[in-house]
Amino acid sequence: MILFRNAFLAALIFFLLTLSAQAQLPEFTDLAEMAAPAVVNISTVRIVSGGEDLRRFFSPFQRRGTPFDDFFEQFERFFGDEAPTRRTQSLGSGFIISTDGFIVTNNHVIRDATEITVNLLDNDVSYIAEVVGRDTETDLALLKIETDRELPTLEFGDSDQARVGQWVVAIGNPFGLAHTVTAGIVSAKGRIIGTGPYDDFIQTDASINPGNSGGPLLNMEGRVIGINTAIVATGQGIGFAIPSNIGSEIISHLQDHKTVQRGWLGVTIQDLDENTAKALGLPGTKGALVAEAIPGEPADQGGLRSGDVIVSVNGQDVVDSSSLLRVVAQQEPGKEVRVVAVRDGKERNFNVTLGTRDTERLAQRERPSPHAEDQATALGITLRPISEREAQAMGMPRPQGLLVTDVEANSQAARSDVRAGDIVIEANQKPVNNVDAFESILEEAAERGVIMLLIRRHTQTIFRTIPFE
């Protein structure tokens, strides 16, 4: 009898705990029913050449000097401009933001498409969509379809108010399975995954798969707090969405102007690490380190220079290089902003009139790499002055800096990511054009125990800080 009573009590407790757990789970049915009609499936047609298709297929294996180079060169030489072409189709998602047919999606969903077709949940009719505008740097695009009826819509919510752990719902077209609803939580915010200069993703474990791109990530009120855009192919339950506060601003620009114009400071920047902060005499690693104020660009004209650490723009704190990019991009080109930067341990104010960010101009700043020769050794690196011919080849008005021709394996320089082919422009913010000057600065730097090098590497100017052994 006692055994029976204990078993009954255990069963009762288990039943009550199960009911309690179920009572705490959210109900998604009303949300799915409300939101799904405003989510669309997008299919595209793209014409690709055989050579382009093969290059895309083999792209993970392509490296300069491999047998694939010869293969593709022979392929293109044989077919010339008449390489065979074929139609490829891809699928994605989107959502309607206006009753007259404006649709948000990812740029990569409709990139290079010759035909874009939109299908709604409750309508068997397919609509041909036109591209209103696109922004490659945030991977967003705005489409428009023409219809006589009033369309269902979704509204943007406030992604800044989203909290890690809150429930979210994703609706999309994974693997062509139309209007699939999945649920999960916000796993993290502010993720930087290396897709572009304005990375600031919401991470979620709501199932996102190929075909979900461009679809909405919804909060429990049915508002869009993210645009689903990326996944980790080798992982499960790891997807990323563009925050709605970024997306809504970009989409508004595209709707009004068909393009996005961003403020441009004209600097190359990098994050501060502890060694670099120590070399600059800074108490912490907050801020964005100016590696180069590009000559003639707004920052240079406003008085900023290499080695400055930008800590705020128009009163907005700059925590690192990513936050500086976002803060400047939010400003209108032509606007004068107040930049606060630390120089020689003191904060200074600079008034800078922003230019317009031009991605094509940025891509054209490529310079050829120098050839290596052994000359002199210091701090685990081999250096020599740059010749007139090398300076001319690299687009330099005159020989400037020292060429790194070799880096000793396992040296502090190697561990600090100094590479053969780098050009050392400055050491501890002093110009160096010969090895003797470099070694003299080394001796002066002994007290701090680190030396900070300003390096030109291909298209970039960067700092590398080397602690002494």
The conformational region for residue 80 under phi > 0 = left, psi -120 to 50 = alpha, else beta, is: left
8 Å CB contact between 198 and 205: no
Q: Please determine, for residue 57, whether its predicted confidence score (pLDDT) is greater than 50.
A: no
| Residue 119, annotated as binding a ligand | no
Of 83, 112, 144, the last residue of a domain is 144
Residue 466: closest CA among 421, 409, 428: 428
The answer to whether residue 12 sits within a structural domain is: no
DSSP 173-226: -GGG-TTEEEEEEEEEEEE--SSSTT--EEEE-S---TT-TT-EEE-TTS-EEE
One domain, residues 219 and 268:
no
8 Å CB contact between 208 and 202: no
The answer to whether residue 4 sits within a structural domain is: no
Q: Rounded mean pLDDT of 155-169? A: 96
The per-residue pLDDT for 76 is 52
> Is residue 108 annotated as part of the catalytic site, yes or no?
yes
Marked catalytic residue, from 43, 108, 300, 422: 108
One domain, residues 355 and 372:
no
Could you tell me the pLDDT band of residue 371, with boundaries at 50, 70 and 90? very low
One domain, residues 391 and 425:
yes
Q: Please determine, for residue 144, whether its predicted confidence score (pLDDT) is greater than 80.
A: yes
| Residue 356, annotated as binding a ligand | no
Marked catalytic residue, from 187, 213, 244, 416: 213
Q: Where are the alpha helices (DSSP H) in 294-347?
A: 298-302, 321-329
**Could you tell me whether strands 267-271 and 381-385 are parallel, antiparallel, or unpaired per DSSP bridges?**
unpaired
Cα distance between residue 363 and residue 111, in whole Å: 19
Which residue is associated with the tokens 């297929």?
A: 57
Q: Please determine, for residue 67, whether its predicted confidence score (pLDDT) is greater than 50.
A: no
In this structure, what CATH number is given to the domain that contains residue 240?
A: 2.40.10.10
> Is residue 371 annotated as part of the catalytic site, yes or no?
no
Which residue is associated with the tokens 């039943």?
A: 15
One domain, residues 247 and 341:
no
- Residue 205: both structure tokens together: 């474990």
CA distances (Å), 266 to each of 214, 357, 358, 387, in order?
31, 8, 10, 28
| Residue 212, annotated as binding a ligand | yes
The per-residue pLDDT for 161 is 95
pLDDT in tens, 283-340: 888 999 998 888 889 999 999 998 899 999 999 999 888 889 888 988 888 999 999 9
Could you tell me the pLDDT band of residue 10, with boundaries at 50, 70 and 90? low
> Is residue 369 annotated as part of the catalytic site, yes or no?
no
Higher-confidence residue: 29 or 85?
29
One domain, residues 238 and 287:
no
Q: Please determine, for residue 56, whether its predicted confidence score (pLDDT) is greater than 80.
A: no
Could you tell me the pLDDT band of residue 221, with boundaries at 50, 70 and 90? very high
The per-residue pLDDT for 83 is 52
Q: Rounded mean pLDDT of 130-141? A: 93
- Residue 367: both structure tokens together: 């310079």
Marked catalytic residue, from 135, 139, 200, 300: 139
Cα distance between residue 232 and residue 376, in whole Å: 45
**Could you tell me whether strands 239-243 and 423-427 are parallel, antiparallel, or unpaired per DSSP bridges?**
unpaired
Q: Please determine, for residue 348, whether its predicted confidence score (pLDDT) is greater than 90.
A: yes
With a pLDDT cut of 90, the percent of the chain lying above it is 38
8 Å CB contact between 228 and 201: no
The per-residue pLDDT for 193 is 77
| Residue 440, annotated as binding a ligand | no
Average of per-residue pLDDT values in the chain = 81
**Could you tell me whether strands 381-385 and 376-378 are parallel, antiparallel, or unpaired per DSSP bridges?**
antiparallel
| Residue 230, annotated as binding a ligand | yes
The answer to whether residue 433 sits within a structural domain is: yes
Could you tell me the pLDDT band of residue 229, with boundaries at 50, 70 and 90? very high
| Residue 108, annotated as binding a ligand | yes
One domain, residues 233 and 198:
yes
Q: What pTM value is reported for the model?
A: 0.64
The answer to whether residue 378 sits within a structural domain is: yes
Cα distance between residue 94 and residue 41, in whole Å: 6
Q: Please determine, for residue 65, whether its predicted confidence score (pLDDT) is greater than 50.
A: no
One domain, residues 335 and 274:
yes
Quote the distance between the C-alpha of residue 452 and its chain's center.
27
The per-residue pLDDT for 176 is 84
The number of domains in the chain is 4
Q: Rounded mean pLDDT of 96-106? A: 96
Cα distance between residue 214 and residue 199, in whole Å: 16
| Residue 30, annotated as binding a ligand | no
One domain, residues 397 and 456:
yes
Q: Please determine, for residue 60, whether its predicted confidence score (pLDDT) is greater than 50.
A: no
Domain residues for 461?
366-467
The per-residue pLDDT for 85 is 59
| Residue 321, annotated as binding a ligand | no
One domain, residues 75 and 163:
no
| Residue 148, annotated as binding a ligand | no
CB neighbour burial string for 18-34, b if at least 16 within 10 angstroms, e if fewer: eeeeeeeeeebeebbee
Could you tell me the pLDDT band of residue 439, with boundaries at 50, 70 and 90? confident
One domain, residues 267 and 253:
no
The per-residue pLDDT for 125 is 77
Q: What would you report as the CA-atom Rg of the chain, rounded to the nearest whole angstrom?
A: 28
Cα distance between residue 320 and residue 190, in whole Å: 13
Cα distance between residue 307 and residue 220, in whole Å: 47
In this structure, what CATH number is given to the domain that contains residue 290?
A: 2.30.42.10
